[in-house]
Amino acid sequence: MKVSVVSVLVAVLTNLASAESVRGVAPNKQHLYKADSNGKWKCLSNPEIEIDFSKVNDDYCDCPDGSDEPGTSACESGKFFCENAGYKPSYIPSYKVNDGVCDYEICCDGSDEWNTDAKCKNVCKELNEKYESLKKERLSKLTKGLKIKQQMLAQVAKADEELDTKIQKESMEVSQLNDEVYQLKKKIEALNTKYNKEAMEFIAELKGEHSASTIDEKIYSLKEAIHLIKLGVDKNIEKSEISKEILLNLATDFDQNINDVTVKKAIEDFQEFSNDKKFDEFDTLYKEYLEKYNAMLGDLDLYNIFFLLEKNKVHMANWKNFIWTRKSSLHSTLLKLLLIQDESSKKLEAIMTDIKENYNPNFNNKAVKTALKGIESYETLKQKVQDDVLGKIDYANDYDGAVKGLMTFIEELEAALGRPKSEAKDLQIADDLSTEELEAKQSEKKLQMELEAEEEEARRSTFPQNIKQAVVRAVEDFLGVYDNLPEEKETVFETVPYDLVSRHLSEINDLSNAGDEDADSYSKELTSLQEEMRGKQELIQELNQQVGDLVQELNDSTNYYGPSKVLKAVENQSFKASIGEYEYEIDFVGNIKQSGNGQSAHVGTYSGDIKKLVNPKDGTTKLEMAFKNGAKCWSGPIRQAKVTVYCGESVEILKVTEPEVCQYYIDVTSPIACFESELEQVEEKKLVESESVHDEL
């Protein structure tokens, strides 16, 4: 077979060209630039286009993706590889190749100017020395800063332990006070037994033959159910915060240069979840739920067995109506809360499940490993919460059913006593009124109280003789008795009607048969016991509110104190520095003040908005904090500031700028912004040189 000289020459040239490295192509990409047996080559992103291999780097753009001109400036979309031996390799846009400018910040070896008179020196050694120096300095700063931060976090952990102890202590106080209230009720019962044997025998009959004590048992069971449901809500919050922390740390620590599609999608889904405004309603709903939870417990405590006396049947009806109203109101808020919790939990768990089942283990990324450990711990906690709390809760039967059961039992008891059935119904309460409506009702109530006071004064002179008649009338406005009659408007109740109860509880408890000589002694002793009981009930409500606030602070569900609650370590501490003609004072969990030229101004108050941000290029981690609602500028806007905190061994105010009138940008260093993830990235040599090094060169 004859072979032409031309064919041989083409083959030789092709082999020679293929054997040499192609300018502008990285070593790991050189295999893509090989001619086929016919001396042809296909564009990388457009393989349908085939050109002679000799046209690669011929300073003419043949491929749409610019892949045929990696070493020239012919294609605008191309990239030129700079080896930068002794430092880090990099890519420079093709349009900068051979433009006569030494682009040292990208090509420190000057290889991009291979065909000009620029005569760029190789400065990679100097650049690497500066990089290593900067890296050493940064490592030192991170190491020292983290050591201080660990001490700060130890303080936070200790403070949380003390907070938890306080929660347990106050919870025990509430339990003890409940026992004391119960004992006071027993004393009142004993007092009435002493002065009215006949009526107390009737009470004993109610407890024995009619099982009236079952009401107390059902109220106790209902309170236990309400407590258990709240515990379930709080445990769901705890789970949610743990899952959000796992995903937030993954989002901030994950190296975006790693092409793990599952993890990147999970981070995007979490960011979308974090920006979903409908979940912002949760904190407001939880606060509303706590208020109604405490109010419901307080209202249940208002029950008195003497409501079962004939003279107090109207009060029984009103108490039932009040509890029924509280049930509806609390149930409505609880349902909204649970729906948000359920949707939030499902979304977060779906994201974590996707990571666990579909992440790429080949990348061996530390942030992903940490997240997987967190997910494993979360699943363990979830199962424990399910077994210990959630699995024991039947929201419908434990709460709604329990209230209905209580009401049904009372109605059956009333029927057994030969009384007409009084069905529980929803009432209008003060929480649902406008300010104007509430003020009008309160004014009406005040006038009614004044009239009652005048009547009471007129009765006092003949108290022993008139007391029997007074108790028949009972308490006109106790829980809005007359307002609750069918022909009148719906009753309007205070949020917690202790003031109404305390003014008339003596009449409700008074059994009317005390002799004249004992009436005064009986009245004083009864009043003393009732006042003591009222004081303890009010303290119970106050402590319940405090415990709720402390639990919120311990869980930090709004991330008010930042990552790992580190801001708690610097709470109530202020730091000063003079910048230009002004002195600035910063309290990270308080206010920023500016003073100078004989004046001072409130720049802003910490808003609770704090974010952890990571630069994907070099791993630099910082905190951004928003301070709002400062003093109004003269003929200008309200002052506010964005504070950016970088890692440092101590708090130092570096820079204050005001690009817009009364809108401040403040750079600060502090150990609170030092993170292990940044230290790990520096140690793994994933840094790129900083702008400061570029500027020096």
pLDDT (tens digit per residue) in 265-307: 999 998 888 888 777 788 888 888 888 888 788 778 777 666 7
Token pair in block for residue 432: 């649902």
**DSSP symbol at 44:** S
pLDDT of residue 59: 93
Q: Which residues pair with 640 in a beta bridge?
A: 663
- Of 399, 403, 402, 398, the C-alpha closest to 321 is 403
* Cβ-contact 653, 588 below 8 angstroms: no
Confidence check: pLDDT of 431 > 50: no
First-last CA distance in the chain: 64
Q: Any residues with CB less than 8 A from the CB of 640 and at least 6 apart, and which?
A: 603, 604, 626, 627, 628, 629, 630, 662, 663, 664
* Cβ-contact 595, 582 below 8 angstroms: yes
Compare 162 and 424 and report the one with higher pLDDT.
Answer: 162
**DSSP symbol at 564:** G
Token pair in block for residue 584: 């600035």
Mean pLDDT of 50-70: 93
- Of 46, 41, 126, the C-alpha closest to 86 is 126
Confidence check: pLDDT of 430 > 80: no
CA distance 3 to 98: 42
CA distance 357 to 565: 30
Confidence check: pLDDT of 693 > 60: no
CA within 13 Å, CB half, 279? 20
Among positive and negative, which fits the CA dihedral 309, 312, 317, 320?
A: negative
Residue 579: φ, ψ to 5°: -125, 110
* Cβ-contact 693, 131 below 8 angstroms: yes
User: Is residue 483 very low, low, confident or very high in pLDDT (cuts 50, 70, 90)?
Assistant: very low
Confidence check: pLDDT of 251 > 70: yes
pLDDT of residue 38: 92
Compare 485 and 383 and report the one with higher pLDDT.
Answer: 383
Q: Which of 184-198, 321-335, 503-517, 572-586 has the highest mean pLDDT?
A: 572-586
CA within 13 Å, CB half, 152? 25
pTM of the complete model beyond 0.75: no
* Cβ-contact 68, 75 below 8 angstroms: yes
pLDDT tens, position by position, 450-474 = 555 555 454 444 433 333 333 333 3
pLDDT of residue 682: 77
Token pair in block for residue 413: 């008891």
Confidence check: pLDDT of 635 > 70: yes
User: Is residue 475 very low, low, confident or very high in pLDDT (cuts 50, 70, 90)?
Assistant: very low
Q: Any residues with CB less than 8 A from the CB of 410 and at least 6 apart, and which?
A: 215, 316, 320
CA distance 262 to 441: 60
